[in-house]
Chains A and B, each alone.
Chain A
Amino acid sequence: MRIGRFRKSTWVNDVASPILKVKDLHAYIGGFHILQGVNFEAEEYKLTAILGRNGVGKTTTLKTIMGIYKAARGEVFFKGENITNFPTHSIVKKGISFVPAEKNVFANLTVIENLKLAYNGPKEKFDDKLEMVMNLFPELKRFSSLLAGELSGGQQRMLALACGLVREHDLLILDEPSEGLSPAYVKNFYRLLRHYMLENRKTILLIEQNFAYAREITDYIYLMDKGVMVTGFPSEKIEENNHVIRRILGVSL
């Protein structure tokens, strides 16, 4: 069972089996103190979402977990191992697949080359993995020999997610996967994502700007503001947290 509690400006929760645990994470970008003590956990086989307005440090949190930005203080644990400030490629090797929000595919590589590069499992299993993602995104099959830069924005996003899925992982981290996609497509996309997670027993952590989408698909929600996690609660307790949601996101239920 999850029990949440407020601690001054930061939020800590106790998750039964966290695959990812972030403790008091601080990061500076260009001299600005962006992450000011981020605490949160992601439970195994669940979908956790971080919500917050623009510029509160959501993407910085993900990039610091991934070792792209240096953590000035604090720790990141993945499957119990301290991976703070590890080189990004070795974090990927440990089983975290990250799909950035922007510039998330190589425009000068073909669709199939992007997928080949993303795959890091045994060679003989690549075809199976490829088939799996091609079944999820049949549209990509038609464009496999095209350069990623020749695809539409939506198709590039699809490819980025396919790359994230084809990579061997236990935890999939997605930075605003719905950005720039049509509402009709997003709904279908999240349905696919959830199905994939349950079917393959994976864990997903994502950033979502759109509260309406997040409440439908996530198991657990964190609200972020000014470089800290303000609160976290299971999705079924959204109603109880209406006042915080309104204060942090400026939306009401």
Chain B
Amino acid sequence: MVSPELILSAIIDGLTYSSMIYLAAIGLVIIFGLMDVFNLAQGAFFGLGAYLFVTFYYMTNNFLLSLLLTFLIGIVLGLLTERAIIRPVYGNPLAQLLLTMGLMTLLYTFMQLIWPTGLVFPETQNFLLSGYIQLADVRIRIYKFVLIVIGFVLFGTMSTLLSKTMIGIKLRAGTENRELATVFGVDISMLFTSAFTFGVALALLGGALVAPLTHATIELPVHFSLLAFAIPVVGGMKSYSGAFYASLLIGFVDRLVAYFIPQLGFAIDLIVMIVVLVVKPEGIFKR
């Protein structure tokens, strides 16, 4: 019989994993939603975030400062990528796919070259980062709860940003109809740059945030790239809230299967994606 401790552990893992997937996918969804650019390098940026964050942590021994530095580098990289690679090929999806694929390969090569053996996030004295709590017979890492909170807070922040602020209204307007947005006085070029930059910076921040649990390895961006690409398919290609619910679905399905039918492994995530594509190609959480 399945013990309650095992179920509890699976639920916490499911929530943690959902948060991690959401962190990896939200930038991709923002960029695709507004600009129709499917940034294949988004997962590589996520991995780079993990590597940079752990490096900065070794240098500064300061969690928040390392996060901030990683995010700032994300802003610079996002801005440069949009200006140098994406902007010249707006409206040309094939060129965008090829260029972002090239960028992804470049980033992977760069990461393997600089950090060939990966980077381990060190044990710290910080309770939130490295501490555990005992729930019944299960020992659970506190940082998992931190990640869960971060995922939900990010979703809440994104929802508020999109519904309550002018920038959110502009983003939603630009996502629905770019031409009309310009007629409404929106500087769409500036909005594109901001959204792409923010999307890439979010990917690096996401990678940084998961690093204390996953460490920085070359498998990290590969794994989360595939998961992140499944999110817009399951949640709806241009649905910001759908990305969150899809992350929860994929996160839970993945973890529950990992606990109870481990033989299925990663295949279950792809099965969910394929089922959605066949049954409801517009995404199950599309409004």
Task: Give A contacts to B, CB under 8 Å.
Answer: 66-68, 87-90, 92-93, 98, 100, 103-109, 113, 116-118, 120, 163, 167
Also in contact, A116 and B182, with CB within 8 A (given A89-B188, A103-B177, A106-B176):
no
**B-chain residues with CB within 8 Å of residue A107 when the two chains form the complex:** 176
What total of chain B residues lie within 8 Å of the partner, measured CB to CB? Answer: 18
Pair B185/A108 contact, Cβ less than 8 Å: no
Pair A89/B172 contact, Cβ less than 8 Å: no
**A-chain residues with CB within 8 Å of residue B219 when the two chains form the complex:** none
**B-chain residues with CB within 8 Å of residue A92 when the two chains form the complex:** 182-185
Docked Cα-Cα span, A68 to B166, in Å, equals: 23
Pair B185/A100 contact, Cβ less than 8 Å: no
Also in contact, A109 and B183, with CB within 8 A (given A87-B189, A89-B188):
no
**A-chain residues with CB within 8 Å of residue B169 when the two chains form the complex:** 109, 113, 116-117
A60 to chain B, nearest CB (A): 14
Can you list 29 contacts pairing A with B, beta carbon distance less than 8 Å?
A66-B183, A67-B182, A68-B182, A68-B183, A87-B187, A89-B186, A89-B188, A90-B187, A92-B184, A92-B185, A98-B183, A100-B180, A100-B183, A103-B180, A106-B172, A106-B173, A108-B176, A108-B287, A109-B172, A109-B173, A109-B176, A113-B169, A116-B166, A117-B166, A117-B169, A117-B170, A117-B173, A118-B184, A167-B184
Q: Which residue of A lies closest to B182 (CB)?
A: A88
Q: Which residue of B lies closest to A93 (CB)?
A: B185
Docked Cα-Cα span, A215 to B189, in Å, equals: 41
**B-chain residues with CB within 8 Å of residue A120 when the two chains form the complex:** 185
Pair A89/B176 contact, Cβ less than 8 Å: no
Docked Cα-Cα span, A104 to B172, in Å, equals: 15
- Chain A binding surface, main DSSP class: loop
Q: Is B179 an interface residue (CB 8 A)?
A: yes
A86 to chain B, nearest CB (A): 11
Docked Cα-Cα span, A225 to B231, in Å, equals: 50
B282 to chain A, nearest CB (A): 14
**A-chain residues with CB within 8 Å of residue B183 when the two chains form the complex:** 66, 68, 88, 92, 98, 100
**B-chain residues with CB within 8 Å of residue A167 when the two chains form the complex:** 184-185
B181 to chain A, nearest CB (A): 8
**B-chain residues with CB within 8 Å of residue A90 when the two chains form the complex:** 187
Docked Cα-Cα span, A109 to B186, in Å, equals: 15
Given contacts A67-B182, A98-B183, 12 further A-B contacts (CB under 8 A): A87-B182, A87-B187, A87-B189, A103-B180, A106-B173, A106-B177, A107-B176, A108-B172, A108-B176, A108-B287, A116-B169, A163-B184
**A-chain residues with CB within 8 Å of residue B186 when the two chains form the complex:** 89, 117
Pair A68/B185 contact, Cβ less than 8 Å: no
Residues 140 to 190 of chain B near chain A (Cβ within 8 Å): 166, 169-170, 172-173, 176-177, 179-180, 182-189
Q: Which residue of B lies closest to A88 (CB)?
A: B182
A114 to chain B, nearest CB (A): 8
Docked Cα-Cα span, A107 to B182, in Å, equals: 16
Q: Which residue of B lies closest to A92 (CB)?
A: B185
**A-chain residues with CB within 8 Å of residue B177 when the two chains form the complex:** 103, 106
Residues 177 to 206 of chain B near chain A (Cβ within 8 Å): 177, 179-180, 182-189
Docked Cα-Cα span, A67 to B287, in Å, equals: 33
Pair A104/B187 contact, Cβ less than 8 Å: no
Find the residue from B183, B186, B189 having the highest chain A CB count within 10 A: B183
